[in-house]
Homo-oligomer: A and B are copies of this chain.
Amino acid sequence: MGGEFKPWGWGSAGEQYSRPRLDRLLRHLRARGIEGREAQAAPALPSAPASRLTQEDLEALGEIAEVRTEEEDRIAHSVGKSYLDLLAFRVGLPLEVTDAVARPSNVEDVRQVVAWAVDEGIALIPFGGGTSVLGGLRPLRGNHRAVVTVDLRRLNRVLEIDETSLLVVAQAGILGPELEKMLQARGFTLGHYPQSFHFSSLGGWIATRSSGHLSGKYGRIEDMVQALRLITPEGEIETRSVPARSTGPEFREMILGSEGFLGIIVEAVLRIHRKPEATERRVVLFPDFPGATEVCRQMVQAGIVPALVRIADEEEAATILAVAGQEVEDVPSLVLLGFEGPGSEVESGMQRALDHWTERGGMELDSEAAALWEEEYYRTPYLRDELMDRGFLVETLETAAGWSALRNLYRDVRGALHNVFAEHGIEGLVLCHLSHAYRDGASLYFTVLGSQLRGHEAAQWGVLKEAAMKAIFRWGTLSHHHGIGLDHRAWMREEHGEAALKALAGLKKALDPSGIMNPGKLLEEER
């Protein structure tokens, strides 16, 4: 993968989602009354307003770092990959465009860009791989006179691999494949594989508290990050590289999830693992989704913890099978299990897991079904582009809750979304899978498909999102691994409460008193 960047869709311009699979999905949707329209050609870039930066600004900034002001670059750095981002190109929603893109090549450059922005009162938006699915890269400028996006892609070096302590020190702009390549060449892996893996950056993973599909073995990014460096307007925070400490509130955990609003993450120390000797994936069929989540709970709580566990509900399983060309009646829930590590451990772990499932009514499929899954996992975002080009609404929502709340969460979110579709007189499809399992709970990941309400595409999305969020808040959290960005910002108060937001504002004010860092993110208003 890699290659030419396209702002209006996923990944590389050269990549195409499989046409036969797409056609089968369209047929599956049509059979459920969900209609699109003729595919639009790739959207043309809108024209960007003139940069607000003066010639003097550009010269001063250009002395610190490479600067790009071409319209195409500015637009490409003003959006991520959220539904609203991609919709903006297709239905002409208004788009704030960044005034310039700065490309520092080292930490000292970053420090100087921040100092310059403070002096000049210019807002800065850190930019890694550009894959935010929540509007996190939109260049708001608050009350500042201009806004510069800081593209960190040139800070992509691996600085050190400590084979004794199993740690890697890497710069924040490195992308998933670059980092894994360097590690694997030395016999190691980080094991962080979010769906955006090929295009997202280390800094982005940290800034949004992301989680990959192998988190059962390797943990979430916050488990991997041992130490961090953050450049703020008030100086640098470099947390100490030690395995654990009891030295007051943990700064590392204040920087994780800070989404660029405290400063720019430039470097991290990460816990690494030996490259797994063996990798196994298996698929199990289980009669029903709520029952499957219960068996999953028992599995994890019994100490059988796969690297990967995903459970598709009946609707999602039916869609997966339809897209794969297998029309099956009475589709059950699909359970994907993955183990990796030393050969003997993988074998015994998988055997224990399969025994656990089959003893409780699961049926093992042959392992080919599983082999296809991982490739498809990374290719699904391309499918979204195809669907949006054809006038479909397609959005994903994710949350997490305790095991004792999971059934209610599942019922209420699905119910809320179907209610909105019904109120709009539109057929909709809500798919769900359990994506990460913990001893105390799990995350649910919903995919929402329907026809767009022509002329009201953004409003339709807003109503669906709000309905889902209200249902989510009865049982779960605002986000399990996508983050906040703009799309979740309005719910920060509901998630955390008033006093916590005061604390967040206090933190912001202490490190960024003039509010130049990613203004309007995480917190809605100036405080």
Please state if B255 and A249 are interface contacts (CB–CB under 8 Å). Answer: yes
A303 to chain B, nearest CB (A): 7
User: Contact at B257–A254, with CB atoms within 8 Å?
Assistant: no
Q: A500-B251, A505-B510, A506-B507 are known contacts. Are A442 and B243 too (CB-CB below 8 A)?
A: yes
Q: Which of chain B's residues have a CB closer than 8 A to the CB of A149?
A: none
Q: Is A403 an interface residue (CB 8 A)?
A: yes
0/1 interface trace, chain A 127-170, chain B, CB 8 Å (1 if under): 00000000000000000000000000000000000101111000
Residue-wise, chain A 181-193 has the 8 Å CB interface mask toward B (1 for contact) of: 0000000000000
Q: Are B345 and A480 in contact (CB under 8 A)?
A: no
Judge whether A498 is part of the interface by a CB distance below 8 angstroms: yes
Select A247's contact among B243, B251, B488, B498, beta carbons within 8 Å.
B488
The reply to whether the CB of A341 lies closer than 8 angstroms to some CB of chain B is yes
- A443 part of interface (Cβ distance < 8 Å): yes
**Known pairs A502-B511, A509-B506; A496 contacts B247 (CB<8 A):** yes
0 or 1 for each of A341-369: is its CB under 8 Å from B? (1 = yes) = 11001000000000000000000000000
Docked-complex contact B240 and A499, CB < 8 angstroms: no
Contact of A497 among B236, B245, B504 (CB under 8 A): B236
Does A89 sit at the interface, judged by CB under 8 A? no
Identity of the chain B residue whose Cβ is nearest the Cβ of A233 in the assembled complex: B499
Q: Are B248's CB and A257's CB within 8 A?
A: yes
A465 cross-chain contacts in B, Cβ below 8 A: none
Judge whether A44 is part of the interface by a CB distance below 8 angstroms.
Answer: no
Which residues on the B side are within 8 Å of A246 (C-beta)? 208-211, 257, 479-484
Assuming A248-B484, A297-B164, is B243 touching A400 (CB within 8 A)? yes
Q: Is A237 an interface residue (CB 8 A)?
A: yes
User: In chain B, what residue has the closest Cβ to A241?
Assistant: B402
From B166, B222, B244, B253, contact of A301 by CB (8 A): B166
Name A165's contact: one of B165, B247, B341, B404 (CB within 8 Å): B404
Let me know if B256 and A249 touch, CB within 8 A: yes
Contact with B along A213-243 (1 / 0, CB 8 A): 0000000101000100000101111111111
In whole angstroms, what is the CA distance A254 to B251 when docked? 8
In the complex, the answer to whether B245 meets A504 with C-beta atoms within 8 Å is no
Would B443 and A244 count as touching, CB distance under 8 A?
A: yes
Chain B residues near A504 (CB, 8 Å)?
248-249
Roughly how many angstroms separate A503 CA and B249 CA in the complex, as a whole number?
10
Question: What are 22 A-B pairs at a CB distance below 8 A?
Answer: A164-B297, A164-B403, A164-B404, A165-B440, A208-B246, A209-B246, A209-B247, A226-B440, A234-B499, A235-B499, A242-B441, A242-B480, A244-B400, A244-B443, A244-B480, A246-B479, A247-B477, A248-B259, A252-B253, A253-B254, A262-B503, A499-B511
Residues of A bordering B, CB below 8 Å: 162, 164-167, 208-211, 220, 222, 226, 232, 234-259, 262, 271, 297, 301, 303, 341-342, 345, 400-405, 436, 438-443, 476-484, 488, 492, 495-500, 502-511, 522
Known: A243-B401, A249-B507, A262-B503. 12 other contacts (CB 8 A): A166-B439, A211-B246, A222-B250, A235-B498, A244-B438, A248-B484, A248-B496, A249-B504, A250-B254, A251-B496, A506-B508, A507-B507
